[in-house]
Structure formats: structure tokens, C-alpha cells
Structure 1
């Protein structure tokens, strides 16, 4: 698993904090430079403090407004501090409408998308009604895409969304034929495609959604954003999601790590296919994705879960060979993840201990406990409960009593209140 270095998806879209020759001669050059540094560093509060002065003297450029809007949108996604962010958005929209600041289509996209994320649909709808009559300094096909998504999440009928899609194709194409404009890319922007794909998926039009997806990956094979792939990961059956995930990795745009976690679990739950799970993680890392400890846990759970759970089949030379090969594979996985600076968590060893109990393998239970401590990890309450259950499965009375005493001692030492799960584990064991 040797990850390729992945190009930045943020800095490439950011105007570096620099000034033109004309701006350097301005008496506001220092304030403008500080403002651009604040925007680049996502220091929104500081940027909005100097914003009114720079707006009033007319030195802000379309790129300034675009970058500021994008960073405001990003701040909301990361912090969800709606009150402060909404105040900034209202300010920018008012200034755009009054002409006090220059427009930029990407600024319109981010402002509308942020309003959609906040579910401030009334403000977003009013903004769109103004945008639709503006020129390309404010509105283009990408803004139509954001508007389509906005109305889709309000439950507007798909027919209306298709009309907006066709209108965008006709408005921004060099031909009167919207089909030609769609299939040649003359008016087809990725954000417009994302909008109509979202609308079709959420309205259950799978064929139409895949048609939009096909256009996207044909016109922009390496530029189709992970967000478009993720729509299919969340909304389509696991077999389709698996193929789409591999396509995203093949294109060099792996989806977010958080989308891989449920996909791995779904593959195991529906198909019990360990090889498919490993192949998925391998492709993700090869495309530059950063795996999580949860992904290692899922793989270990599936690998150990593939061993026969029937006690009568868990003995003998043949099983011992299988078990040895399985443990070797797990050690190789832990080593490979470690090379990526992803190390086992308490949950990793809890999984090993739990499955050791189910497989009635004392060596696996004791080995999981030993390796947890060797990794300089501290057993948590889940660990103590898992050990109790494991020794219950093994019908080892002495170890069971000792593990219950260890849990009691840990509760007392750490002054952690008792949990009903403790007693459920005790009764079950």
C-alpha cells in the first residue's frame, strides 16, 4: 500500500495573498494584504472586521469575494456556527445586490450552497430570483447547479429541476441544441451536473442519475469531484456503491474516509467478502486516501469472522493451519496500516478479544489483551466488558471472576459511574 501524493483540493482554488502593481500603490495596500492573508488562513472574523473598509473604498476584486465566500462556507461545514456565518452571508448578499462589491459565479455558488446546508431556503430562493436575471459576473451554469440542489432539498418536483437544467444548457451554450451542449461540454459544468444528478437520485430516477454520472466522468474523467461519487455510495445498493467507489479511486479522487467505513460494514453484512473489502481499502490508499483505525478494525473483524465459529470445527491440524495463516494476515495488515501512520486503537484489540471468545480460542483472547498493552494503550470500559464476555464464552470461571474484579477496580480507580451495559455483560457471561 504505497499512497501516491495527492494534489491539494483547497490551495489550488485559493488566490495567494499577493498584490498587483496598482494595489501596491494604494494607501490601502497593507489592509488589503492582511485581509487576503486572513481569508487564506480561514480567519473569517478578522477578515470580516476589515471587510467594510475595503468594500467602501472599492478595492476588493471578484476573486476576493469568491475566496471569502468559499471560506465562509467551509467554516460553517466545519463548525456549524450558524448565527455568525448567516450574518456574514446576509451582509455579502446585500452588498452584491447593491453593487458595492463585484460578483463572481463561485461566490454565488458558495453562498447559495451554504444557505441550503443551513436550510435557510427562503433566503436562498430570494437570492436565486435575483441571480437569475444577472450576467455571467454573478451567474453561470455552476450557479444553476447550486440552485437545482437547493430546490431539490425542498422537495420541488423533478420536472421543474429538469427545466432548470435544460435552461442552463441553452443559456450558456454556443449552440441552440441543448443536447449538443450537454454532450460536448460547451455548457456542461461539473456543478451543474452535480445538481441534476442530486435531483434525479433523490427523486428515484436512477437511470437519469447514471446518465448524468456518465456525462460527468466522460467529460471530466479526473476532475469529477468525490461528492458526485458519494451520492451513489449513499443511495445505491452495495454492489453498485462498490463499483462507483473503485471508479473514484481509479480517477484519483477517492471519497472521504468516512464513506468507506459504512461501505466496508455493508459488504461484510451482505456478502461476507473479505477479499472485496481488502481490495477496496487498497484502492483507496493507492489513490491517496488516508485510512482510519476503524477501517483496520473492520478488516480484522471480517478476517476473524471468516473462521468457523462451530466449536467442533475449531480444532485439529487443518484449523490450526488456517488460524495461523489468518493471524499472519492480520499482522501484515497492522504493519501496512502502521506504515501509513494509522495505528491500532483499543477497538482493534477489543474486536480480536471478542472474536477470540466466540471462536473459543483462549490464545486469541490472551493475545489480544497482551498486544493491547504492548501497543501502550489503556483498556477502556468496553475492553473490560469484552474480556468478561470472552471468558464467559470460554466457560473459564477463574478468568471470568478475575476480569469482573478488574472492571470493578477500574470503575473505582477512575471514578467512572456504573453503566447498565456492565451488568448486561455480567449476566450474559
Structure 2
């Protein structure tokens, strides 16, 4: 008897299909890049083609390729301030994606040196992105040297937005709040424009969001919650739809869950939902601290309504919370058990269907969550349902599915299924031609210990 059918006969799952053979991975694709335009004058110049290639590489965040063209173009003096700003911004974007310092830092140093040497024209936003990039890389010595030069320059290199980036950079270095507040006031004195500095300081009028973001960060990191919320209030009142998601994220990460929940909804209401990666830990924290499923669904609903793109992690969090709310003390023989269990599974199916309609593809991961939760709650019927629903959905069990089954068997302390489940994992590894991972052995050891296998 095959291992899958043996597992079926022991747990009455129904037919369990063998894992499919390994397939060659599909090549990664990238969206088409819209090439930037050249002005009429640039088209007729001999360097027009090289400039066009440079701008295309910058737009596509191909920094090494862009820097090859940059060397010649900077020597010719044809790069505009917008070119420099875009290059710095895309360097920062590339770092956020790859986190490979040696691919970006040398080019950032080149750009900073050329700015200091007046080989290229400056732009305040270029300075902002370079400071933020160095902050993220924790290259604080270089960022401090750059700021010491910037603060003495004109508005073509430094403005109130640049001060905001500098304040944030120094805040992460632990500079005292009094010094950071002094920088904030200095920025207002220099760049409040037609607004009287005292009025700008009290009301925020005439202040860019980047400067407000900098002082909000400083106040949050130093525990001055009241002043941070005051600046946040100013920002959201003056720029209700233009407040950057980053400002909302600061409060979501730094404040207690009830405040984080409200701030997240505020961001969605303003039409600037935080990134999907911010919602994932928020859902987990809501469940841990409040066990409020409605709150979790409400925050996902607000996120989607504001244009956010949900993913499988959000679905798994909701599934886990719905199943986790099932009364642990209720026994299968109780009359209320069956209707409540069926209603719970229907809710899970409805969630899967709803996410599928939102272009979140159906995957084995959601059913793996059901299996995992079933094991942790010591409910074999949930483990059975997870595997059965996966098969009925037309999906194939994955290596993670088999490993999750092994973990669930350990949680259930079901010694009779230990050998069968381990054999299924072996078969999956062989047929999918995948190497063994350390989690496989950890799962086996944990299950053996739990089932008194040693």
C-alpha cells in the first residue's frame, strides 16, 4: 500500500496525491521600463544617445550600468539636477531591495565626492536620499561628514527637507533630543520663507513633510510621545492626503497596539495605506494582544479599500485567528460542536475565496496553516480538514505540507502516524529532487520526542 493511502486509511482523509515531479523554474520577469524623454536640444547633441541610455538605466535601477555612463556625462557637464536627484533616489531604492552594500556604497561615495568637488550640480532631494541611504547602511561617519558640508551650502544642495533627513539620521545615532530640536528650529529659521518662524514652529505652516518626519522620528525614538503626536497632528491636518506612509509606520511600530491600530486605519482613510509588510506584524500583534478577529478583518478591509495589495501572509493570519478562536474545551460529542465546527470551516473557505477574488492565488500555504493550527490545538479533525481541503482545491502537497504534518503529529502525540508521516516527507524529497533542510530534522526530532519515539 502506498504511503499516502496508508495515511488516508489511518485518518480517513480521502485520496492523497503524490507530489508532482520537479519542474524547471520559470524565468523571473520584470515590468517594462518606460524610457525617459530627452529635450529637443538634447536629442540633437552628440551625447544624446548616451544620456538617453543613462536615464533608462537609472529608471530601471541598474546602478552599475548607469554609473558607467555617469562618468563620461559628468565630465561633459550635461547632467541636470534632476538627473542627480533621480540617480540618488534609485540608489536608495536599489539598496532597499537588495541590501548589498558593496553594490551601492562605492557609487554613493562617488556621487558625494563629485557634489563636494562641484563636478555635478546639486539637488536638495539628492542630498535627502544620500543621507537616508547612509543612515540605512549605518555609515554614520560618512553621513556626518556629508552633513557638515551640506549645512554650509545654498538651497541647491540643502533645504528644510534635507534637515529632516539629517535629523532622522542623527536620531538613529542617539544624538540628544535637545540637539535635534535645535536642528529643527534652525531649519525653520532658514527655510520658513514668508511664514514668521515662530508661527511656523507653532503651527507647522510652511514646513515640508520631510522636516516633520525627521522631528517626529527624533521625538518617538526619545520617548517624547506627546510632542511626537503634536507634530503628527500638524502633519495630517496640513497634508491630509500627502502625509508619507513612513510617518504612519513610525507610530505603528513604536506605539502600543491600540494606537498602532488607529494610526493604520488613519493611513488607509487618507488613501496612503502602509506597505503590505507593515500589515503582517500588525495582524499578528492584534491577535496576540486582543484576540479580536473582527478588528483583524476590519483592518484588512480598510487596507484593501485604500488600494493596498493583500498577500498570502495576511490570509494565513486570518485563518489562524479564526481557527484559534474555536473553543478548545469543546468536545466532538457535544451537540454544539458539529454546527460550530462547520461554521468555522465555512468562514475559512469564505476567506480563501475572498482573497482569491482579490488576486491572491490559492496556495498550499493556507491549508498548511490549518494543519499547523490543528496540531497546536490538538484537534486531529482540523489536521484532517486541512489536508482534505488542500486536495479538494486541486493543489498538490508540498514539502512544507509534509513537514507541517510531521509537526502536527508531534503536537498530537500520535505515535501511530509518526512513521507514515516521516515516510511521506522522504518520498516528497525524492520525487521533487530537493535537498534536505535542517527544519526537516528538527521536525522529526521534535515529533519523536513528543511521541516517545526514543
Matched, 1:46 2:46: no
Q: State the match for 1:348 in structure 2.
A: 366
Q: Is the 8 A contact 1:388 1:426 kept in 2?
A: no
Give the gaps of 5 or more residues in structure 2.
1-30
- Within 2, Cα distance between the matches of 1:84 and 1:210? 38
Superposed CA deviations along residues 280-321 of structure 1, whole A, max 9, x for unmatched, are 111111111111211111111110111111144x44332322
Q: State the match for 1:167 in structure 2.
A: 186
- Greater displacement, 148-157 / 390-399: 390-399
Shift, 1:213, TM fit: 0.9
SS at match of 2:64: helix
Q: State the match for 1:87 in structure 2.
A: 106
Q: Is the 8 A contact 2:411 2:447 kept in 1?
A: no
- Greater displacement, 342-351 / 291-300: 342-351
Alignment of structure 1 residues 104-143 onto 2, 5 Å: 104-143=123-162
SS at match of 1:317: coil
- Within 2, Cα distance between the matches of 1:100 and 1:345? 53
Q: How many pairs align?
A: 416
Q: State the match for 1:427 in structure 2.
A: 449
Q: State the match for 1:332 in structure 2.
A: 350
SS at match of 1:309: coil
Q: Is the 8 A contact 2:115 2:122 kept in 1?
A: yes
- Within 1, Cα distance between the matches of 2:325 and 2:264? 24
Shift, 1:363, TM fit: 4.3
C-alpha distance 403-311 of structure 1, shift in aligned 2 (>3 A): farther
Normalised by the length of structure 1, the TM-score is 0.90
Match among 270, 280, 298 for residue 289 of structure 2: 270
Q: State the match for 1:383 in structure 2.
A: 401
Matched, 1:208 2:230: no
Q: Is the 8 A contact 1:69 1:111 kept in 2?
A: yes
C-alpha distance 285-27 of structure 1, shift in aligned 2 (>3 A): same
Matched, 1:18 2:76: no
Q: State the match for 1:6 in structure 2.
A: none
Q: Is the 8 A contact 1:145 1:193 kept in 2?
A: yes
Q: State the match for 2:253 in structure 1.
A: 234
Q: Is the 8 A contact 1:95 1:101 kept in 2?
A: yes
Superposed CA deviations along residues 325-352 of structure 1, whole A, max 9, x for unmatched, are 2211111110011112213443321221
Superposed CA deviations along residues 149-196 of structure 1, whole A, max 9, x for unmatched, are 111111110000000111111211135743412455543111111111
Q: State the match for 1:3 in structure 2.
A: none
- Within 1, Cα distance between the matches of 2:326 and 2:295? 17
Q: Is the 8 A contact 1:174 1:186 kept in 2?
A: no
Alignment of structure 1 residues 288-367 onto 2, 5 Å: 288-312=307-331, 314-357=332-375, 362-367=380-385
Superposed CA deviations along residues 32-72 of structure 1, whole A, max 9, x for unmatched, are 12211111121212211111221122111111110011111
- Within 2, Cα distance between the matches of 1:402 and 1:85? 50
Shift, 1:262, TM fit: 1.1
Normalised by the length of structure 2, the TM-score is 0.85
Task: Point out which structure has higher relative CO (alpha carbons under 8 A, 6+ apart).
Answer: 2
- Within 2, Cα distance between the matches of 1:389 and 1:39? 47
Shift, 1:396, TM fit: 6.2
Give the gaps of 5 or more residues in structure 1.
1-10
Q: State the match for 1:416 in structure 2.
A: 436
C-alpha distance 25-185 of structure 1, shift in aligned 2 (>3 A): farther
Q: Is the 8 A contact 1:183 1:215 kept in 2?
A: no
